[in-house]
Chains A and B, each alone.
Chain A
């Protein structure tokens, strides 16, 4: 099953963060690589959405939909900065 990219969770992240996030820049806590959310590796077909670093495949975010709530874990990100121009 081929993974997708952060574009596929644009709507979900906008729902969670209240703003456009595909251009936000994330820093991987495991390897330090920085990339825009749109470039993250996204696994959608799981009990939750799993987002990984394109450089080291480390876990960046896990978003599980638990009883109509989005439960978001961002511990794999050392930083996440929304694009101020958006």
Chain B
């Protein structure tokens, strides 16, 4: 193909617009579809990044016509989109909505889906390019993917493409992750499977790489010579809400640590990739994940808990065991903390503490790199009483940015040194409105650009790390030593505090 004379690598104003294509959405009534996927599609169109003729097909067990589905999208967009609602943008999308009613095992419905897609190729010029977004529980992946294969929907003709998009959980242990991958892999080639970990679409997460590898001042101290330990926290202030069916039996470690926190950790800990392409990044991430070692005494280096009834943020809230749909004897954890070692020269002896939980003090995700104390302290102990350890904190959400903590002299005649913070807020220096992670990721799916999507090797390595901990906890459950209750609205169970205290450290209050 001759190169496009209107394209110029120097022309950085021109955005990449996806080529002609359509998206088929399974599970249109769920929160994910309504709050994230549909608004992101509108926002992309509003930013001029969707191709003319882009079409969205819904598939669900509803007795809807195309117009009913369009109305659902319209309402979702009005309520949740990031950018202002504009009639002309809606007009661009409006003729491209289709709805196919049916069950996942319904051959007639999938045949109708095939006709719908073929009709779109003619009437909207989608060119045979279609992505199937499975916003449904993984238990149904097998059915849907099998149907797609059976009805020839997974086969791309000529230059066109077919892609499948799946959301976490990618299995619940190594074995099930492999099974799941087997199901997808049997139908779609590896490069056509897009696993969404929406954390990787976040600006602040991508900025970890810029921070580390575009600057000179951080990388020299980014190792065991200077770093004491790393804390990665993802805290939510809400409980499980109405997601009992999903959450029970899954728990915090599988829900968050296996994907988001281990991905964050691999970005923080990895070596510099040779280039900034998908392949090179993946190699480095896999190296980190495969050099992770668990401590031998899992009882002393992990912690878990369940939130108890109480008061959180001024509201009376039920405990996990009282939530609707949760058995009073459930051992599913809503808080999990683990200690990991990365066996490389760079990180030898530096523990990575990962924690996540529901009903904690506030919603926050951050990475804190805590540095060693100065090897020799010039100032006497009284002067440095209020000086703790230097730290560099990457705030992933909310209030995206970075904080550097160091000691400074308190004004006055006495020599007294206290911690101060230097702050960089994304909102302060850049755009007020960064694109949502889903906008970036959906566009990347349509462009076929894979760097921000974890591959099945990474998923499997993550389960290899987590499986022994989950087994250990299951054994504890059998002995009657289940998760500890912790007060709602605080920062987790006492066992998590004790876990760090054993190492002579404390958790940061995020």
- A, B: real partners: no
